[in-house]
Amino acid sequence: MVSTRWTLKKEKYVCGFDVTAKFKRSDFDMNFALPAIGDQMVLFFGVETVRNKD
Q: Identify the pLDDT of residue 2.
A: 54
Q: What is the CATH number of the domain that holds 6?
A: 3.30.1040
Q: Range of 25's domain?
A: 2-52
Q: What is the pLDDT of residues 18-39, one digit of tens each?
A: 999 999 988 988 888 877 888 8
pTM, two decimal places: 0.51
In DSSP notation, 1-28 reads -EEEEEEEETTEEEEEEEEEEEEEGGGG
Task: Tally the domains of the chain.
Answer: 1
